[in-house]
Structure 1
Amino acid sequence: MKQLYIGLVAIFALTATGCNKFDDDININPNNPEKASATQLIASAQQSLSNLGSAFDKNASPYGIHYPQYISGTSFTENSRYNTVNFNFYPIYAGPLMDLTEAIRLANNPNEGPIPNQIAVATVLKAYYLWHVTDRWGAVPYTEAFQGRGNFTPKYDSQQQIYDGLFKSLDEANAAFIAGGIIKNDIIYSGDMAKWKKLGNTIHMLMALRLSKVNPVKGAEEFNKAVANGIMEKNEDNFTYVHLVDEVNENFWYTSFTRKGRKWFAVSKPVVDYMQPLNDPRLPVFADKNVAGNYVGLEYGLPGSVTVVINNISLLGSALRQQNSPVYLVTYAQALFAKAEAAKLGWIPGGDADAKINYDKAIEQSILQWTNSSAGLAAFMAKPEIIYNPATGIRQIAEQRWIHLFMHGYEGWAEWRRTGYPLLSPAPNNNNLAIPRREGYPTQEISINGANYDAAVAAFPYGGADDLNARVWWDKP
């Protein structure tokens, strides 16, 4: 599996689509990948964003949604019982990360947009993917990655070093953007550099909050810097991957439910039991009613021997499994929840007063994002359990953020690991395995990059083996 380090550019993702998601000039001859431009490579990397909720394979069964218990399996329940320990980061490195590395190297065509903007957008996207990778595995190749034949066995950098490097990269991207100069082939923001700049700073801010337990002084410093540089200001700024009404670019859940007829995914009992008593306006989006007209969540982590009667439970909501249903990756409401927590922690001024303002606004924007309506908002905000209480503020913020991040499993899992909320129980009938704290490295690394693999495992910040129980750096016990 030397492809990770050789770094072949994943141009095939562009040429295989033949759809209107990209400008016509993005369709290139797969036999001449060297002709790809920086913006085409950026578009290729963007196309991989839809995979972040799964095992980075659009045709694979998803994993991230199970860790924060958003979804319960109706069949083949191994994922929700943590049976898979080792996960492969090679496709992320050899695909979007290599595309972006090459895009930064090639960004020299002013006809496709100002060069600084091409580099800045690629840098923001690369930081986002690397953030995703390090939060799943911890220490990973970083400073010695992407050297091609120059280094087949890169060292693993500590997560702290990676975070420091990504903060620096995002600072550089923020400073590099040129106002008003759009780039071509942008399938996320259509070349709007103001939105890309706000995205980079919002990612920076969310990364900073991850340091709340392990280095709050550094976290507060980076958080305030990001806010000062300008973060998301409305739902229209959301970092959203929009699928298309065609088979190649359709939503994973449409493929599973409609094209393949697999009713394998129900909304979990923890989600329904939390939302239903509060008459949460988002529940009808998240879940379908059962045949009796009720919302019934499925017990999480059932053994495979149990037969689930599909008509009795709430499957994943129909609105989320349309062919062109979007995937929300970084959102305005998410930024507001972060500001609410930062105010509660004393990282930004305002204390509980500002925590309440941002918390209330976050819930409002979350409901508007998911339902496109304010119906039921006032009644929901008046619920005693929802009204901000300084004594339980952190828990309330965390629980509402958990609901808001529904289906963005890896992000919801990261926030659960960091805050401990909501209070979740491990899957039963799974040999007493705890809810995972990280994912194990690719098994091929032992033979391909053994010395650096061994050094990384030996340097785990809180000890442990290469399994699901060791903790990443910011997940301080």
Structure 2
Amino acid sequence: MKKYIIILLFCNLSLLGCSEFDEDINVNPNIPGEASGTQLIANAQLYLPSLSSSPQGEFLAQYLAETQYVGVSLYPEGSTNFYWFYEGPLMNLETVLNSEEDLNAAEGPVANQLAVAKILKAYFYWNLTDRWGDVPYTEALQGNKNFTPAYDTQESIYSNLFALLKEANSQIVAGDIDNDLVYGGNMEKWKKLGNSLRLLMALRLSEVDPQWAQDEFNAAMADGVMNTNDDSLVFQHLADANNQNYWYDQVVESNREWWALTVNLVEEMKPVDDPRLEVYANPARESGEFIGMPYGETEAIGTEEYSLLGSDITAQDAPVYLVTYPQVLFAIAEAAERDWVTEDAETYYNLAIEKSVLQWTGSTEGVDEFISQPEVAFDPANALERISEQRWIHLFMNGYEAWSEWRRTGFPNDFVQPEGRPVPTRLAYPDTEDFNNADNFNEAVERQFGGEDSIYGTVWWDE
């Protein structure tokens, strides 16, 4: 892990300017002054857990209920920072993409370094635009050449990201790359990830442009998507303070009992003895049973009454599941139900649940009996609802992604409205944009939301 702390230092050095005098007296001949391409990629990968490890994301998906400071879960209006995307991972990746001639082939084929940078850039931007809507894209990441970038439409960003992922797929060649924290340099897995991202992005367009969605979905499948849990994009934390799980820091080290599973989630899983529940939560200390807490409960409560986050979730070295094979299987099941593909929806639905249980518990023992229960079994009359609900259960702790799928499908359809406040349909832009980038900010807000930067505006694909 010390190696990756040094990588982070390299990356910071590469992005900071120094005077000639500083360079003369501060050069350490034993430490290079610039990061290599694969080191910049590794630094971008260190931001991956931040895409899912967030109480806000879990509140939006109504996985967790706040036990202490309930006001933060009641969907208050307010701005949300997106600058870290640009200042951290995206700037590192853009530096790689703008430095093709300087990349070191000794760290792996240059074409593959560029392909991985493109796949990660697409993944970060996909998260960014799905949360806020239109965001700076084509004019972003230009440093002091442009401090006030225009906001691109979400539709155009999606189009660009599809093209970027196709470029990555076509340019991958034989040969691993160095310093890869998630796949160990395995380019076959990167190829499957890029195509799986295209597949999931295509599904997101199901309500706004079904034909475009179907075309992109089938093209991604033809290019080759994930076909085993080992292909999933997983960030593995370490039992090391330098790279430990966010929830370990928040719950174990800080001795906080701030988050319990919601009633909705527990009542979806407990009656059918869902084997994943024992991983997701600890039994309530008072009763020894799994008991969910009402979301948005404002009365003083005792945390011993409810099921708090599971010990596996809060372990120091717990993994973060980001893009997974079960997600791909649920997507194919839905596409089959929509008649986009010829595969059988029920087959892929059952396989998705099986692989989800395997991901979370490490075993598939008893999974056939679990799936055969009427409350879980595939229901042709309510196929999209059943697929969406099981996908929601699978996406536990990847709250922003689950929230996006809820916005797209409307399922689960029993989310509560704490104190009468509906679940937000987007995040509000950083309030500093109205000062630092006023013209472009105001144009984007007017174009999308009639001039009001509200958390209840709808993004382009959310028809």
TM-score range, shorter chain: over 0.9
Task: Give the Cα–Cα distance (whole angstroms) in 2 for the partners of residues 233 and 121 of structure 1.
Answer: 19
> For 1:121, which of 92, 106, 116 is the aligned residue?
116
The residue aligned with 1:48 is 47
The residue aligned with 2:189 is 195
Task: Give the Cα–Cα distance (whole angstroms) in 2 for the partners of residues 229 and 330 of structure 1.
Answer: 17
The residue aligned with 2:384 is 394
Task: Give the Cα–Cα distance (whole angstroms) in 2 for the partners of residues 233 and 95 of structure 1.
Answer: 31
Alignment of 1:334-345 (within 5 A): 334-345=327-338
SS in 1 for 2:58: coil
The residue aligned with 1:7 is none
> For 1:410, which of 378, 400, 412 is the aligned residue?
400
Q: Is the 8 A contact 1:328 1:408 kept in 2?
A: yes
> For 1:248, which of 225, 242, 252 is the aligned residue?
242
The residue aligned with 1:442 is 430
Q: Is residue 78 of structure 1 aligned with residue 71 of structure 2?
A: yes
Q: Is residue 220 of structure 1 aligned with residue 214 of structure 2?
A: yes
Change beyond 3 A, Cα 1:279–1:463: farther
Q: Is the 8 A contact 1:463 1:470 kept in 2?
A: no
SS in 2 for 1:321: coil
SS in 2 for 1:145: coil
Task: Give the Cα–Cα distance (whole angstroms) in 1 for the partners of residues 384 and 52 of structure 2.
Answer: 26
The residue aligned with 2:253 is 259
SS in 1 for 2:56: coil
The residue aligned with 1:4 is none
The one-character-per-residue Cα deviations of 1:140-195 (angstroms, maximum 9, x if unpaired) are: 0001111111111111011000000000000000001112x111100000000000
1:464 to partner: Cα distance: 6.6
1:376 to partner: Cα distance: 2.8
Identity rate, percent: 46
The residue aligned with 1:470 is 457
Task: Give the Cα–Cα distance (whole angstroms) in 2 for the partners of residues 296 and 360 of structure 1.
Answer: 27
Q: Is residue 381 of structure 1 aligned with residue 371 of structure 2?
A: yes
1:26 to partner: Cα distance: 7.4
1:105 to partner: Cα distance: 1.8
What is the TM-score when the length of structure 2 is the normalising length?
0.93
Q: Is the 8 A contact 1:281 1:375 kept in 2?
A: no
What letter corresponds to residue 453 of structure 1 in structure 2?
F
Task: Give the Cα–Cα distance (whole angstroms) in 2 for the partners of residues 168 and 30 of structure 1.
Answer: 30
1:426 to partner: Cα distance: 3.3
Q: Is the 8 A contact 1:464 1:470 kept in 2?
A: no
1:427 to partner: Cα distance: 3.3
The residue aligned with 1:296 is 291
1:227 to partner: Cα distance: 0.5
SS in 2 for 1:328: strand
Q: Is the 8 A contact 1:53 1:63 kept in 2?
A: no
1:338 to partner: Cα distance: 0.1
What letter corresponds to residue 70 of structure 1 in structure 2?
Y
Change beyond 3 A, Cα 1:137–1:25: closer
Task: Give the Cα–Cα distance (whole angstroms) in 2 for the partners of residues 247 and 207 of structure 1.
Answer: 34
Q: Is residue 323 of structure 1 aligned with residue 313 of structure 2?
A: no
SS in 1 for 2:297: coil
Change beyond 3 A, Cα 1:464–1:391: farther
The one-character-per-residue Cα deviations of 1:366-391 (angstroms, maximum 9, x if unpaired) are: 00000001123122111012211211
Task: Give the Cα–Cα distance (whole angstroms) in 2 for the partners of residues 148 and 416 of structure 1.
Answer: 36
Q: Is the 8 A contact 2:80 2:430 kept in 1?
A: yes
The residue aligned with 1:148 is 143
Alignment of 1:339-378 (within 5 A): 339-350=332-343, 354-378=344-368
Task: Give the Cα–Cα distance (whole angstroms) in 2 for the partners of residues 464 and 330 of structure 1.
Answer: 34
Q: Is the 8 A contact 1:26 1:185 kept in 2?
A: no
SS in 1 for 2:260: strand
1:84 to partner: Cα distance: 4.6
SS in 1 for 2:234: strand
> For 2:279, which of 285, 310, 321 is the aligned residue?
285
Q: Is residue 427 of structure 1 aligned with residue 417 of structure 2?
A: yes
SS in 2 for 1:222: helix
Alignment of 1:65-144 (within 5 A): 65-107=58-100, 108-144=103-139
1:86 to partner: Cα distance: 1.1
The one-character-per-residue Cα deviations of 1:283-313 (angstroms, maximum 9, x if unpaired) are: 100111012210000110122xx22211111
The residue aligned with 2:163 is 168
What is the TM-score when the length of structure 1 is the normalising length?
0.90
1:19 to partner: Cα distance: 2.1
The residue aligned with 1:39 is 38
The residue aligned with 2:24 is none
Change beyond 3 A, Cα 1:435–1:467: same
SS in 2 for 1:266: strand
Change beyond 3 A, Cα 1:294–1:450: same
Change beyond 3 A, Cα 1:463–1:344: farther
Q: Is residue 19 of structure 1 aligned with residue 2 of structure 2?
A: yes
What letter corresponds to residue 47 of structure 1 in structure 2?
L
SS in 2 for 1:65: helix
1:136 to partner: Cα distance: 0.2
The residue aligned with 2:300 is 307
Task: Give the Cα–Cα distance (whole angstroms) in 1 for the partners of residues 337 and 11 of structure 2.
Answer: 54
Question: Structure 1 unaligned runs (5+)?
Answer: 1-17, 56-61
Q: Is the 8 A contact 1:124 1:170 kept in 2?
A: yes
Aligned residue-pair number: 443
Task: Give the Cα–Cα distance (whole angstroms) in 2 for the partners of residues 416 and 159 of structure 1.
Answer: 18
1:425 to partner: Cα distance: 3.2
Task: Give the Cα–Cα distance (whole angstroms) in 2 for the partners of residues 363 and 220 of structure 1.
Answer: 23
Change beyond 3 A, Cα 1:32–1:162: closer
Change beyond 3 A, Cα 1:453–1:372: same
